[in-house]
Structure 1
Amino acid sequence: MPEAPRQLALDLPLDPRFGPEDFLVGPSNEDAYARIEAWPDWPDPVLVLTGPPGSGKSHLAAIWAERAGARIVAAGAVTRAALPDLAGEPALVVEDADRPSGRDEPALFHLLNLARERGRGLVVTGSGPVEGWGLATPDLRSRLRLAPTLGLAPPDEALLRAVLVKLFVDRQLVVDTSVVDALALRIDRSLGRARDVVAALDHEGLSRGRRITRPLALATLAALDAAAGEESP
């Protein structure tokens, strides 16, 4: 039987929603979430959030930024030239401090000192423990190790299922529980990966003019994996 003609699916990306109501709490993130909820009653003005990509660091940092009135910047934006401006912020999030490209370690060290001296909130995010960030400045390593650190783990299966359901609901997609079950068993335990897969299914369902079924979900996932394999060196 010939396949139904595809419809034109408009590419209208759904931006990730980083509100508190969009963050789902589970064993992998409950300690970090509790600390964010406790603001401003923190034992230290500096907090280091670590975890693999897709574990929810940026979402948690955005929730705290909203609460604290903090500005969010990439670690590469923390330079000596930018310090006077950054130091004037009431609170600050520095994202991806583990990435060495463009990282000004003396500037980040001074920013940490200023946050403690002035009692201003500072959240620093990065993948994995600070020891693995490849920091060449001993004083910066020492300051970050002294800061309270909370790690986020990849979501467990129950949390991943809940995230998938929410992502489908956000896109107003009605799917059978068998679709969620199949995806939760097969995709990487990453919130980012879950978003990408649901977005691809939304696009595929629209282009085919079909409801998202388990066979369609598995075929789409296989195509995504194949494409990712072709892109890998």
Structure 2
Amino acid sequence: MRETAPPRQLAFDLPLDPRFGREDFLVSPANEAAYGQIESWPDWPDTVLLLTGPPGSGKSHLASIWASRAQAWTVSADDVAEARVPHLVGHGALVIEDIDRAGSRDEAALFHLLNLARERRCPVLVTSAARVDAIGIGTADLRSRLRLAPQVAILPPDDALLRAVLVKLFVDRQLVVDLRVVDALALRIDRSLARAREVVSELDRDALSRGRRITRPLAIAVLQRLGLAGEGACAELD
């Protein structure tokens, strides 16, 4: 008799609400300077702080921690328009997210906002995936204003942070995995928290569709499918 493959379950991409509380932020040498600067508020040396770091590094998490402490509004950089500037600055502290990704950003409005915030002593946290000179700001005045602002960077995660984040991502999804799975992933993926989220999401979806628990061989198989496992990983599936 032919063996039939077990039926696959439907895997639904249900949105997960990331936990952005202070107690959920994992501090390591890669981000301790940025975390310390956020914690030092309101004793900032300037009204504006530029927080940089690669995608998925924890900028939004830190911004959320600060917004909670400072009772700040949060707005995307491409949502800052000239008509909204007095309204945004008039309500106290402000987070401006992703100034590097704002393809349609109103640079004149952003410059006006930063000037008005300085005038009214309104603290502003600006997040970016890259430093000022690398994000293509065409307005010289805005570029100069951001260059003069204090800056703090989140560095790519070290091994300890990457492993801790992988564990947290599995826990957030209520998944129980052996630490050997975490070690296998940490050894093979690039040092990126965004990549860690992608891989854990794919593992969760794959395990659910197959009706299997997440094992080390399954993890390596998923990494191979994503093009993230080395050629020698094939032997580990046997």
TM-score under structure 1 length normalisation = 0.91
The aligned residue for residue 146 of structure 1 is 148
Residue of structure 1 in register with 2:234 after alignment = none
Aligned to 1:8: 10
The answer to whether the Cα contact below 8 Å between 2:67 and 2:74 also exists between their aligned partners in 1 is yes
- Name the Cα RMSD after superposition: 1.5
C-alpha distance in structure 2 between counterparts of 1:84 and 1:119, whole Å:
13
Give me the whole-angstrom Cα distance separating, in 2, the residues matched to 1:223 and 1:156. 25
SS in 1 for 2:126: strand
Which residue pairs with 2:118 in the alignment? 116
Decide whether the 8 Å contact of 1:108 with 1:140 is kept in 2: yes
Name the CA distance, whole Å, in 2 between partners of 1:135 and 1:11: 36
Partner amino acid for 1:150?
Answer: V
- State the SS of the aligned residue for 1:47: strand
Measured at CA, do residues 10 and 137 of structure 1 come closer, stay the same or move farther in structure 2, by a change above 3 Å?
A: closer
- The equivalent residue for 1:61 is 63
Whether 2:103 is the aligned partner of 1:94: answer no
Instruction: Report the Cα distance in structure 2 between the residues aligned to 1:23 and 1:2, rounded to whole angstroms.
Output: 45
Alignment counterpart, residue 178 of structure 1, candidates 172, 177, 180: 180
Instruction: Tell me the distance in 1 between the aligned counterparts of 2:135 and 2:120.
Output: 26
Which residue is equivalent to 2:33?
31
Within 2, Cα distance between the matches of 1:15 and 1:200? Answer: 17
Correspondence 1:154-169 to 2 at 5 A: 154-169=156-171
Q: How many equivalent residue pairs?
A: 226
Distance 1:135 1:12 in 2: 37
1:25 corresponds to which letter in structure 2?
V
Q: Is contact 2:159–2:186 with CA below 8 Å preserved after alignment?
A: yes
Which moves more between the two structures, 10-19 or 209-218? 10-19
Task: Provide the rounded CA distance (Å) in 2 between the counterparts of 1:14 and 1:77.
Answer: 25
Are the equivalent residues in 2 in contact too, given 1:51–1:128 (CA < 8 A)?
Answer: yes
- Out of 82, 85, 88, the residue aligned to residue 84 of structure 2 is 82
- Which segment is superposed worse, 79-88 or 3-12? 3-12
Match of 2:51? 49
SS at match of 1:63: helix
Structure 1: tracts of 5 or more residues without a match: 227-233
Shift of 1:13: 2.5
Shift of 1:2: 4.9
Residue in structure 2 matched with residue 231 of structure 1 by the alignment? none
Structure 1 residue 115 displacement after superposition: 1.4
Q: Max radius of gyration: which structure?
A: 2
Aligned to 2:152, what secondary structure does the other structure show? strand
Superposition deviation, residue 224 in structure 1: 2.9
What percentage of aligned pairs have identical amino acids?
Answer: 68
Q: Residues 130-149 of structure 1, C-alpha deviation per residue, up to 9 Å, x if partnerless?
A: 11121122211111111100
Q: Decide which moves more: 167-176 or 9-18.
A: 9-18
CA distance in 2, matches of 1:136, 1:22: 37
Q: Is the 8 A contact 1:100 1:134 kept in 2?
A: no
1:19–1:62 contact (8 Å) kept in structure 2: yes
